[in-house]
Amino acid sequence: MDKFKESFNIADDIVMGNGNMVLFSGPCAVESYDVCAKVAETLKETCQRLNIQYVFKASFDKANRTSVNSFRGVGLDEGLSVLDKIKREFDLPIVTDIHEPNQANPVSDVAQALQIPAYLCRQTDLLVAAGETGKTVKIKRGQFMAPEDMQYAVNKVKSTGNNKVCLTERGVSFGYHNLVVDMRALPTMRQFAPVVFDVTHSVQQPGGAGGSSGGQKEFAPYLARAAGAAGVDGFFIETHPDPSKALSDGPNMVPLHKMNEFLVMSKAAFDLGQNAKIDLND
């Protein structure tokens, strides 16, 4: 096994693959402009200082919440308005989720990368619509998918002539409100496309808080170090100025004031993983 050898630009100055670390990070959902702006400003300064490429992330809609009463987001129009303002005012590329094929074009007018949620990674029409935008397509591996089967999701995007696609690992589910990360998935999927490790959703406990998701963020540093050392092309980390008040996924978020320390650790593991390889088949 070997890593995917090609690279591509998410934005003019953001390269995915070929030894470049990319951070996708922000609050889970677009709660307000103020929350997004606080995160964007803090992480841009931190990433510039640490020489980490940064893409701002927030979702305008969380369509797979545990309860019908859970906060889903501010909606497409208001969400894209906030994300466009973040992009312009902080000069940052944007990644956000799409859930339906008809969202691909309006979202691509604002975002440089379209994220396909894990539960939708097999949806052919959605993947093709995302690919046809020409933007980077970031596909999360479904909790039910074998790592080697993600090559078919990659190929669906590439069938449009768009080769700007990466995969995201976030663990597998056996039910019982838990996710388990198999580090073998990283080199397996990295044969097909660059791979991003989703630090915070890997410690999520879906539905584990009685009608909402819980989380074990205390394990996030261990998984981030392990994934970085195993070899990845970037990290996906949700963060918030006050996770206890976050409207979505607060229990598994990294507090914003801890992100500098967390990224220093993650970058050290990333650097180790870029050259750590022994071929035992020779």
pLDDT in tens, 119-148: 999 999 999 999 999 999 999 999 999 999
- Helix pair 124-132, 150-158: axis angle to 10 deg: 40
The answer as to whether 182 is a domain residue is: yes
Helices (H), 173-219: 185-189
Nearest to 116, CA basis, from 137, 102, 132, 136: 137
| Band of pLDDT at residue 186, cut at 50, 70 and 90 | very high
- Three-state SS annotation for 93-140: CEEEECCCHHHHHHHHCCCCEEEECHHHCCCHHHHHHHHHCCCEEEEE
209 pLDDT above the threshold of 70: no
Residues 6+ apart with CB under 8 A from 75: 60, 61
Per-residue burial over 209-222, b = 16 or more CB atoms within 10 Å of its CB, e = otherwise: eeebbbbebeebbe
Rounded to two decimals, the pTM is 0.94
The answer as to whether 2 is a domain residue is: no
CA–CA distance, 249 with 71 (Å, rounded to integer): 10
The answer as to whether 113 is a domain residue is: yes
Return mean pLDDT, the chain: 92
Q: Which stretch of 26-35, 75-84, 217-226, 269-278 has the lowest confidence by average pLDDT? A: 269-278
211 pLDDT above the threshold of 60: no
The answer as to whether 38 is a domain residue is: yes
Q: What is the CATH number of the domain that holds 78?
A: 3.20.20.70
Mean pLDDT of 237-258: 91
Q: How many domains does the chain have?
A: 1
Predicted local confidence at residue 65, as pLDDT: 60
CA–CA distance, 213 with 89 (Å, rounded to integer): 33
Burial status of residue 274 (CB atoms within 10 A of its CB: 0-12, 13-18, 19 or more):
middle
The parent domain of residue 80 ranges over 8-273
The answer as to whether 281 is a domain residue is: no
The answer as to whether 47 is a domain residue is: yes
| Band of pLDDT at residue 112, cut at 50, 70 and 90 | very high
pLDDT in tens, 267-279: 999 999 988 778 8
The answer as to whether 260 is a domain residue is: yes
Predicted local confidence at residue 176, as pLDDT: 79
CA–CA distance, 17 with 29 (Å, rounded to integer): 27
Instruction: For the chain, give the percent of residues with pLDDT over 90.
Output: 78
Which residue's structure tokens are 């670390």? 21
Q: Which stretch of 162-171, 231-240, 244-253 has the lowest confidence by average pLDDT? A: 244-253
The answer as to whether 282 is a domain residue is: no
CA–CA distance, 251 with 216 (Å, rounded to integer): 7
Question: Token pair for residue 174?
Answer: 């056996």
pLDDT in tens, 64-105: 766 676 677 789 999 999 999 999 999 999 999 999 999 999
Predicted local confidence at residue 205, as pLDDT: 74
| Band of pLDDT at residue 198, cut at 50, 70 and 90 | very high
Helix (H, G, I), strand (E, B) or coil at 166: strand
Predicted local confidence at residue 276, as pLDDT: 74
The more confidently predicted of residues 136 and 201 is 136
Q: 113 and 94 in contact (C-beta within 8 Å)?
A: yes
